[in-house]
């Protein structure tokens, strides 16, 4: 049997069933198998594809294997709840002269973070290639359900006794009593059934022309379709899915009188990764500006004291640091995770670690002041994707001996006869206690969104430090090979705490 474990780190699972309005306040519980496969596909596109370790054919084979068998669940104790939000509609009521709002319910299943959800596929044994891909997908999956459902997922050896199975008989035949309730969920169809269904639709030429875009060839492509496109074409249920009855416990989402003792958060949190949402997303060339805006947003989230001074601790403000700090304070590092040329994530990295207040402020950033604004009126929303140690945002934090520039390196000291740019890189790495550099060489251009970019194409000057001494005003790109693996993120040189001088592991 194949079995997976999901821990909901924030104690919440947000998932609105297909075809139900959010204000109905319903939660798909158990999580729909259709949603689970789509979550794996989304994780592939956002985080795993770029690594080059697996090809798309392996993903397609994995998805088809999982779609062949209807899974069973071991549901943890949970209760259904919701929050209410009054969202501005962008217009003023003519009578009250107040901004009109619309009530939206955000329903969720409340789960203790220490009680996992288990999913199992009876009779499935994955080939080694598919199993490795699945492990990599689960290892970097940041959320399951909506973006607020932070999750930690992994493959496990066995499934605890299932308490939620496919079926439509909630009666306990030994006692004659009602022991469960029947719920209807969406599950993916097998690849051959989808192919048959597609042929049936295409038999009607008029219908085939209208639905062609939402009936792609192959189960993987069908499960990758955008929900809005399916609804636009009038699908009452996704074409690659089927409705299946499950019997779940009667009290699956009912409150229980039980004292929950919340475990302490991990003792060592150094990194938080945020999704950057907005249209258009900022260019990679503007990394420095986005890094500065991220710092302002975090500083603002800490608030002010009674005297009106900002309360942000030195590790986040970068001011009043003790001697010998050695870059242990916050790095605000925007980056492009999919190679499209646009910044879609921001990493907040504090080598010295987050204290309890920093964890709280950072964790609430998405809900409170989680937006970046610039002077041109552009606005981007922040969503916390994950928080932890070196496992967060492996695109930047993975350990590697080989590193290559993502943004220009600006040397922090003036060049002298025996103190070149390469010498300055070596000195910086030595001061930070990094392994010795085995090989170091300049790179003329780097690829950004498929186009060659030079250092001068990037923003290289601090917005609020126009009169600041800046030994290097042009910048350069570099490749570094260390004598031993170095864990990221790695940022060096002038303005390295705001996105310049950023390097990524070079897996090529």
Per residue in 278-317, pLDDT (tens digit) is 888 999 999 999 999 999 999 888 887 777 677 788 888 8
Q: Is 449 in contact with 341 (CB distance < 8 Å)?
A: yes
- DSSP state at residue 21: -
Per DSSP, the three-state class of 83 is strand
| % residues pLDDT > 90 (the chain) | 52
Amino acid 61: pLDDT: 96
CATH code: domain 271-396 is: 3.30.70
Answer whether residue 206 shows pLDDT above 80.
no
Span 400-413, average pLDDT: 95
The token duo for 11 is 């104690």
Amino acid 41: pLDDT: 95
Least confident piece of the model among 13-17, 125-129, 283-287, 436-440: 13-17
Give burial (CB, 10 Å; 0-12/13-18/19+) of 362: buried
> Cα 216 vs. chain centroid, distance in angstroms?
27
- CA torsion angle 190 193 198 204 (round to 10): -160
Amino acid 235: pLDDT: 85
Tokens 């821990």 identify what position? Answer: 7
Half-sphere exposure in the Cβ direction for 168 (13 Å, CA) = 5
CA distance 257 to 270: 36
Answer whether residue 192 shows pLDDT above 50.
yes
Give burial (CB, 10 Å; 0-12/13-18/19+) of 321: middle
CA distance 53 to 71: 27
pTM of the model: 0.54
């Amino acid at each position: 049997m194949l079995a997976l474990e999901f821990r909901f780190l924030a104690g919440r699972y947000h998932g609105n069933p297909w075809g139900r309005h959010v204000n109905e306040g319903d939660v798909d519980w158990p999580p729909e198998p259709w949603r689970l496969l789509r979550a794996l596909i989304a994780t592939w596109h956002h985080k795993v594809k770029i690594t080059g370790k697996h090809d798309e054919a392996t993903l397609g084979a994995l998805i088809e294997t999982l779609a062949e068998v209807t899974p069973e669940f071991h549901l943890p104790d949970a209760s259904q709840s919701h929050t209410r939000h009054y969202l501005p509609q962008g217009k003023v009521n003519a009578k009250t002269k107040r901004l009109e709002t619309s009530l939206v319910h955000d329903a969720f299943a409340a789960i203790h973070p220490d009680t996992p959800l288990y999913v199992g596929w009876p009779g499935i044994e994955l080939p080694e290639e598919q199993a490795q891909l699945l492990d990599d997908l689960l290892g970097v999956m940041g959320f399951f359900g909506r973006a607020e459902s932070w999750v930690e997922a992994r493959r496990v050896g066995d499934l605890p006794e299932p308490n939620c199975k496919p079926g439509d008989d909630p009666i306990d035949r030994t006692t004659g009593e009602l022991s469960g309730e029947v719920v209807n969920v969406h599950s993916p169809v097998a690849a051959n059934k989808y192919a048959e269904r597609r042929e049936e639709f295409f038999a009607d030429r008029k219908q085939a022309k209208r639905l062609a875009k939402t009936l792609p060839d192959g189960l993987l492509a069908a499960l990758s379709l955008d929900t809005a496109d399916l609804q636009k074409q009038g699908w009452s249920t996704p074409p690659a899915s089927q409705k299946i009855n499950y019997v779940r416990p009667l009290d699956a989402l009912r409150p229980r009188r039980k004292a929950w003792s919340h475990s302490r958060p991990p003792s060592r949190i150094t990194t938080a990764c945020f999704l950057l949402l907005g249209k258009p997303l900022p260019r990679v060339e503007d990394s420095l500006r986005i890094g500065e805006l991220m710092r302002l947003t975090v500083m603002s989230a800490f608030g002010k004291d009674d005297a009106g001074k900002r309360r942000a601790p030195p590790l986040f403000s970068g001011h009043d640091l003790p001697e010998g700090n050695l870059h242990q304070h916050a790095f605000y590092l925007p980056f492009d995770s999919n190679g499209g040329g646009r910044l879609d994530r921001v990493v907040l990295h504090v080598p010295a670690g987050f204290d309890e207040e920093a964890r709280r402020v950072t964790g609430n950033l998405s809900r409170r002041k989680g937006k970046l604004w610039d002077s041109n009126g552009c606005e981007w929303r922040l969503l916390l994707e994950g928080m932890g140690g070196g496992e967060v945002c492996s695109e930047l934090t993975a350990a590697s001996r080989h590193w290559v520039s993502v943004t220009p390196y600006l040397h922090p000291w003036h060049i002298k006869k025996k103190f070149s740019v390469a010498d300055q890189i070596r000195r910086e790495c030595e001061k930070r206690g990094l392994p010795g550099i085995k090989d170091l060489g300049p790179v003329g251009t780097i690829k950004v969104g498929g186009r060659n970019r030079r250092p001068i194409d990037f923003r290289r000057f601090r917005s609020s430090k126009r009169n600041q001494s800046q030994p290097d005003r042009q910048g350069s790109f570099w490749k570094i090979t260390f004598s031993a693996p170095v864990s990221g993120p790695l940022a060096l040189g002038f303005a390295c705490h705001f996105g310049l001088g950023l390097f990524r592991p070079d897996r090529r």
